[in-house]
Amino acid sequence: MNEMQTIDRVLLVDDQAIVGEAVRRMIAAQGACEYRAVSDPTKAIEVAQEFRPTVILQDIEMPGMNGLDLVLRYREHEATREVPVIMLTGKEDPAVKADAFARGASDYLVKLPHPVELVARIRHHSHGYRMQLERNAAYSALAASEAHMKSEINRAAAYVRSLLDPPMDGSVHADWRFVPCEALGGDVFGYHWIDENHLAMYVIDVSGHGVGPALMGVSAMNLIKSGSLEREQVLDPTRTLQALNAAFPMARHDGMYFTVWYGVYNRATRELAWSGGGHPPSFLLRAGALRRLESTTFMIGIVDEYDAPTERTTLEPGDRLYLFSDGVFELHLAGGGIWGLDNLESFLAERSAEGVLDAVIAETRRVVLAGRGQADPGPGAPVAWDDDFSLIEFRFA
């Protein structure tokens, strides 16, 4: 692509020297511009590369090369591909005009036109070309900026993923699938043994998309797992949510808030205690029957006075517990509406534990593509959900 020009630069390609001098005088009499003429059409592109014209005046009948063929060569060459070409010829022939435009000419004049008309057309086409160069430069800068932002978002997503707890085996088996959306959401989750008997488990979803929500989610996750809270707090879902609410008021965090589901499993008593702040329910699956463990209060950070009641249930060997974010089920359907919790519930209840996480990924991928009216790009091809996809499975021995 040529660099942006600030003045008109006219290149004449014509084998007649007298025409070149006449055009030079016409242009010079109408105002400042740079002008160059070349009489050998085979050297036109070479001269254009060095001169960088904003418009080319082009004869048709020349020895060694037909001017119409030269227009095609201009359009094939990077340096002249978009430079406007005005055919300047003695033939007033509609068929020739049509052929010239078909090959990529921008204008057609019978020589020699009136100087005022010639200069007006030169200025018109040069101005349009300069504006096109400016638009192209702006698009290139925007594309570079978007590529940089996407790279930064991908780095942020990789960073968030690196902080997530690895799969776990033992008396409690834990595994997960996480697919960040293109804009990067605020999903984080985790689990860790508070002591030899108590397992903390949680999922957090910050409002909005981008690096800000992602960093806020990481901060909230770090508060839970870093040891900043007292042991008695992390053992108590109510006190944990109250601590999060006190630490992340939306007034001090650019209006951001988050939902959370937080549970503590006691493997000695097999009791699960949980509290949820505005988050979708978790699913407890037992022998094909599914129970929703609903949130007990509203989102974190909305108000100062915050109560988060704790609910309790007893787990049995073979139970499965699924924590997830709304990006797993809020999937737009082609005919309107969303896929929804009911479909996710039915899908999980009908499948065995083995391979269920990948099965959910495959099914929701199908729903996402169908909702967008897109064909499946094939196995392994990346597909972005509208929001972060976070799905965690716990199996209890």
- Both 179 and 99 in a single domain? no
- Alpha carbons 48 and 59: distance in angstroms, whole number: 15
Query: Which of residues 90, 119, 137 is at a domain's end?
Result: 137
Are residues 303 and 228 part of one domain? yes
The CATH number of whichever domain residue 228 belongs to comes to: 3.60.40.10
- The 10 Å Cβ neighbour count of residue 65 is 15
Do 129 and 222 lie in one domain? The reply is: no
Given this model, what pLDDT does residue 68 score?
A: 87
2 assigned to some structural domain: no
Question: What pLDDT is recorded for position 363?
Answer: 94
Q: Which of 87, 121, 137 is the last residue of a domain?
A: 137
Quick one: pLDDT at residue 32? 65
| Residues 354 and 319 sit within 8 Å (Cβ to Cβ) | no
Alpha carbon separation from 349 to 40, 159, 178, 211, 320 (Å, rounded): 79, 33, 21, 35, 10
User: What pLDDT, on a 0 to 100 scale, did the predictor assign at position 30?
Assistant: 66
- Among residues 384, 360, 361, the alpha carbon closest in space to that of 374 is found at 384
Containing structural domain, residue 51: 9-137
pLDDT beneath 70, residues of the chain = 1-6, 30-32
* 94-103 and 67-76 helices, crossing angle to 10°: 20
Please tell me the total count of domains within the chain.
2
Would 158 be classed as within a structural domain? no
Q: Tell me, yes or no, whether 68 and 207 share the same domain.
A: no
| Pairing verdict, β 34-38 and 9-13 | parallel
Q: What is the pLDDT of residues 4-60, one digit of tens each?
A: 556 888 999 888 888 888 888 888 776 668 888 888 888 988 999 899 998 998 888
pLDDT at 1: 42
Do 103 and 223 fall into the same domain?
no
* Residue 155 resides in a domain: no
- Is the same domain home to 120 and 253? no
